[in-house]
Amino acid sequence: MKVLFISSWYPNSVNALKGIYIKKHALAVHSAGIDVQVLAITVNYSAKFFEKKVYSLMDENGIRTHMIEFNSRFYKLLYVDLFLQYSFLKKYYLKNIKPEFKPDIIHSHVLSPAGILGHWLSKKEKLPHIITEHWSKVDKFMSKSIYAGQGKKAYNQAKKVTVVSNFLKGSIEKHFTDKNKVLVVPNVVNTELFCFKEKPSRSGELIFVCVAHWQNPKRPDLIFNALQRLGKSSDKKIVLNVVGEGHLINLLKNISWNFKINYLGNLNAPELASTLQNAHCFLHASEMETFSIVVAEALATGTPVLASNVGAIPELINKQNGFVCNNTVDEWYEGLNNLIGNYDFNGRSISEANKQFGTNQIGERFNFIYNEK
């Protein structure tokens, strides 16, 4: 079987982390023995008036990846011009992909723009279409976009639509005439890398870690202020390892805190896995999450979690692996005390339970969907 991924969110020359979770889905499909290629059409901000970059590469996982990049100061106009994007995508597909790789299925990621572009191409080529949704703003798109009608057609004429959480399923299924075609297939965690390791002793210090691109809707202020209170009441040294960068963290760096903070910046995957394995607890504060890969990665290492009670996060957290709390400092402080006071967490069991997000497991779920009649 041959599957063509179409995505507008994908790592590119301007943003190497854009849509990295979609790249992990491609790897999962590849791991299931399916011949997959990626056609990514991305629009990025640039100081340049207009730049088009078209290239093809074999990525580190052995997946042929075709890139069409538009880089421009007018990126917002280009992003909403789906007819322009489709003309380039269709021309590239017909000339550079179809002669050597005629897909059996088109699998698009995120309704707009890629899901609509994939819908148009699937109709032209008379191929089944799968859409995977990661986007929390579908309702806004359906009520305001000039492409809302095309979006509804893309959803309802697709063979199946997968979403990364039950929360997201509940959010979008109102747009379907047949809700049974909406299935949950989570994001991917490299469970061979993010695996269990015995925690360091908690006798001298408590090591916390938080990870994010520190922009809205993340709430690092809740983590810092709750730990400030904990630092006053605990007899242990409090250490917070902060992974990632962004203006919300920069706002907190000039404040004096009563606990030790290590600003680690952006880490590669092995470095992040090691940081999680060597922490006692993982903290994640946010106003919205459609899945939260970092929470799943922390759990895969056997690290208990305290996280905001929003979006899909409660689907990942239970009394065996952590706590959720509302987004106030009082509740975060209470949650911290519950977390560090609970000595019954079994890290190995936490890790084992989260192997459901492994690359091979997700690949097999997509393989079943592709072959379902």
pLDDT for res 202 = 81
d(CA 166, CA 150): 24
The string of pLDDT tens digits covering residues 113-153 is 999 999 999 999 999 999 999 999 999 999 999 999 999 99
Examine the pLDDT at 178 and tell me if it is beyond 90. Answer: yes
Write down the H helix ranges in 262-343. 269-277, 293-300, 313-316, 329-341
SS3 17: coil
The string of pLDDT tens digits covering residues 21-38 is 999 999 999 999 999 999
Which residues, other chains included, contact 119 with Cβ-Cβ below 8 Å and sequence gap of 6+? 108, 129, 131, 150, 153, 154, 157, 158
Q: DSSP assignment of 191-252, as one string?
A: TTTS---PPPPSSSEEEEEEE---STTB-HHHHHHHHHHHHHH-SSEEEEEEES--HHHHHH
pLDDT for res 206 = 95
Closest CA to 216 of 249, 250, 248: 248
Closest CA to 155 of 134, 179, 136, 171: 179
pLDDT for res 201 = 86
pLDDT for res 343 = 66
* End-to-end CA separation in angstroms for the chain: 14
Confirm if 248 and 258 have CB atoms less than 8 A apart.
Answer: no
Tell me the mean pLDDT in the region 235-254: 95
pLDDT for res 199 = 92
| Structure tokens belonging to residue 136 | 């929390």
Give the pairing type, strands 105-109 and 2-7. parallel
Domains of the chain: 2-188+358-371 (3.40.50.2000), 205-356 (3.40.50.2000)
d(CA 109, CA 153): 15
Report the run of H or E that residue 124 belongs to, with start and end.
helix 116-125
Confirm if 44 and 15 have CB atoms less than 8 A apart.
Answer: yes
Tell me the mean pLDDT in the region 241-255: 96
Confirm if 40 and 14 have CB atoms less than 8 A apart.
Answer: no
pLDDT for res 315 = 97
Examine the pLDDT at 174 and tell me if it is beyond 70. Answer: yes
* Residue type, position 176, single letter: F
The string of pLDDT tens digits covering residues 39-98 is 999 999 999 999 999 999 999 999 999 999 999 999 999 999 999 999 999 999 999 999
Examine the pLDDT at 373 and tell me if it is beyond 80. Answer: no
Q: What is the mean pLDDT of the chain?
A: 96
d(CA 17, CA 343): 36
pLDDT for res 342 = 72
Closest CA to 249 of 223, 275, 288, 287: 223
Closest CA to 336 of 240, 193, 192: 240
The string of pLDDT tens digits covering residues 192-218 is 999 999 998 888 899 999 999 999 999
Paired residues of 107 in beta bridges:
5, 130
d(CA 222, CA 328): 7
Closest CA to 130 of 118, 143, 121, 140: 118
pLDDT for res 83 = 97
Place of tokens 């990621």: 109
| Structure tokens belonging to residue 208 | 């916390």
Residue 181 burial by Cβ neighbours in a 10 Å radius (0-12, 13-18, 19+)? middle
